[in-house]
Chain A
Amino acid sequence: MNHDVAAQVRGYLMVFGTLLVLTLITVGVSYLDLPEFETVIVALTIATVKASLVAMFFMHLKGERPMVMWPLALTAFLFVGLLASVLYSESDHLFGARFQDAFHSIRN
């Protein structure tokens, strides 16, 4: 095995270890019974970190050409736009009650 490939393999094994630790953390956190909002934020943040590690190292996205990055950036933008538009349509359910509670406490 040449030197460059050996160094790459060491990197892959370190990423593997990190992914396993993050998986155990995300399962552990789910048993803490945090409030729903905090649970969602923690779980999705850990998932995003894990997915980024896989994309950067296993999918060789780190140092990839702009011709790959630009279509992916557009896809990410459209994905977030899709999700945001859907959540916006339910924003009264998501945030309305919380805002109303806040105003209610101010008035009193």
Chain B
Amino acid sequence: MQIPYTTEVRPDTGLTNPKLGIWLFLASEVMLFGSLFSSYALLRTGAQTWPDQSSIVNVPLATLNTIVLIASSVTMVMAWASLKSESLPKYRLYMGLTLLCGAAFLVVKTIEYSDKFSHHLYPSTSNFLGLYFTMTGLHAIHVIAGMIVNAYFWGPGTRMWKTDPERFTNRIEVAGIYWHFVDVVWIFLFPVLYLL
């Protein structure tokens, strides 16, 4: 059976089903991360003392990671634009760069975590570190999930380009919307956990 409304717009919603689906999923994701940001606000405002965060975490590395993730958002949207221009080689190049940026982000994150562990700083050490590891850890899981989807679309998933290019282009747009959401979450995590 053919999945309905993958390329043509559904008359009652004015959208394709994947587009509506990804936005509803992301709405639930906002509340998931929202609960953690609320926990942070509650624990910090209720605390008698709060550590100087920037002396515990590595601001230059996090700044680098912010730039890497923003760059990956640009390459992701360029991958979609390449399909709009009907250039599969360009799409592969930009999607490959997106994957590389995602990998670079995780490498930097691993360096940060290793540094914390080597100084005996664990989630159980303080409320701040508990929040730091929970929030950045959940975000890293989202990066990994996005990379798995993107890797599929960079590799075997491109088969669809030959049979149904419009549907494939829509898939990349939807995967991109998720990837940009991961970027948006980091845009808030960076000042909250590193700079404030």
Chain A positions within 8 Å of B, measured between CB atoms, are 1-2, 5, 8-9, 12-13, 15-16, 19-20, 23, 26-27, 30, 36, 39-40, 43-44, 46-47, 50-51, 54-55, 57-60, 65-68, 71-72, 74-76, 78-79, 82-83, 86-87, 89-90, 93-94
Contact = CB atoms under 8 A, between A and B. Distances in A.
Q: A-side binding surface: helix, strand, loop or mixed? A: helix
B74 interface: yes
Per CB-CB distance, the 3 closest pairs between chain A and chain B, nearest first, are A43-B191, A30-B195, A90-B45
Interface string B173-196: 100110011011001101110011
Say which size band chain B's interface belongs to.
35 or more
A41 to B, nearest CB: 10
A55 B22 CA distance: 13
B191 A26 contact: yes
Main secondary structure of the interface of B (DSSP, over half): helix
B37 A75 contact: no
Contacts of A19: 70
Given A1-B81, A65-B15, 5 more contacts: A50-B187, A68-B23, A71-B23, A71-B24, A72-B23
29 contacts: A2-B84, A5-B85, A9-B78, A13-B74, A20-B67, A23-B70, A36-B196, A39-B196, A43-B191, A44-B191, A47-B191, A50-B187, A54-B184, A58-B176, A58-B183, A60-B177, A65-B15, A66-B14, A67-B14, A67-B20, A68-B19, A72-B23, A75-B27, A78-B31, A78-B34, A82-B31, A87-B41, A89-B42, A93-B45
